[in-house]
Amino acid sequence: MDQMDNVIAYKRSDEKLKLQLEKLSMQSGIKIVPMDALSEADGLPILRYVKQKLCLEDDGERLFFHPSMALLRMINILRGVPDRFLQAVNLEAGDIFLDATMGLASDTLISAYAVGSNGSVLAVESSPLIHFLVQDGLDQVKQFKPAKKLSQVKAQAWVELSQATSCIETVWADHTRILEGLPDASVDVVYFDPMFRVTVKESSSIRPLKKWSNPNPLDKDTIREACRVSRKRVVLKERKGSSEFTRLGFYVKEKNKYSPVDFGIIDLTRVGEGFQ
């Protein structure tokens, strides 16, 4: 983020948003200005509700939370189609899952479904604005009431996602700081899905996320901490063939020739595995 990006504008008439933004501003240092008060606000990123969805408009791009990807995945899971993320993290009901890179929370929602009401998911996001947008979106998913005209499987998928939100706690923080504060073997699985080191083609939904997200590579100390904190495994999602798997000590078991990504695993249940 450059200097300009540390200021966001909002509509003065949106009282609810104003209160939330004042809190965000106090916590994160992001400056907020009402868009009708300053001509300087022209060209600033704007946060506002569009069709009841909180939306960050910037440079002609819109960043907002929509659980469409999680919904599609949920429908497939209900139809019995394997989900590669779920295969990689291998969660069981009741597990404690740490999603170290929440982003737009598609994996967060799917993991929350997998651990169920006796499990828990802690989702960590270091970008204050992404955390703000996604937390608002998850609150809306929680209150979702399916419309009558939805197909049975789609309605069921919405219900599952809505229920799944109950075991999610989100936090705006750097994941390394969170890991450092956790006791040994206190969660079952830690998961990293960082911004890819090399982006071949950017989709229109990824472009705005990229601008506001944390682009830093993972460091070895963070993975060491994740191995200390996990009981079962640490998982990394990366672009297929990424040198990050080897650099950080992950083993890619199930390669999928049709997918541009792979999941690397450090299996902590095997004697001798762990961070080298």
Ligand X SMILES: C[S@@+](CC[C@H](N)C(=O)[O-])C[C@H]1O[C@@H](n2cnc3c(N)ncnc32)[C@H](O)[C@@H]1O
Q: Note the residues at the interface with ligand X (CB under 6 A).
A: 101, 103-107, 124-127, 130, 174-175, 193-195, 213-214, 216
Please enumerate in sequence order all residues whose Cβ is within 8 A of that of 269, keeping only pairs 6 or more positions apart, or say none.
231, 232, 233
Q: Which is nearer to ligand X, 44 or 70 (CB)?
A: 70
Task: Please report, for residues 7, 28, 35, 37, 63, the alpha-carbon distance to residue 12 in angstroms, rounded to integers and kept in the order given.
Answer: 15, 20, 7, 8, 20
Shortest Cβ contact with ligand X: which residue? 103
Distance CA(211)–CA(80), nearest Å, equals: 36
d(CA 208, CA 177): 26
> Minimum CB separation from ligand X for residue 99, in Å?
7
Q: How far is the CB of 67 from ligand X (least distance, A)?
A: 10
* Cβ 149 to ligand X shortest distance, Å: 28
Q: How far is the CB of 268 from ligand X (least distance, A)?
A: 21
Closest to ligand X by CB, 29 vs 272, is 29
Contact 127, 195 (CB under 8 A): no
- Residue 12 or residue 177: which is nearer to ligand X going by CB? 177
Q: What 3-state class would DSSP assign to 42?
A: coil
Which tokens hold the place of 24? 């965000």
Nearer to ligand X by Cβ, of 213 and 242: the residue is 213
Q: Minimum CB separation from ligand X for residue 271, in Å?
A: 30
- Beta carbon nearer to ligand X, 43 or 215: 215
CB contact at 8 A, 187 and 96: yes
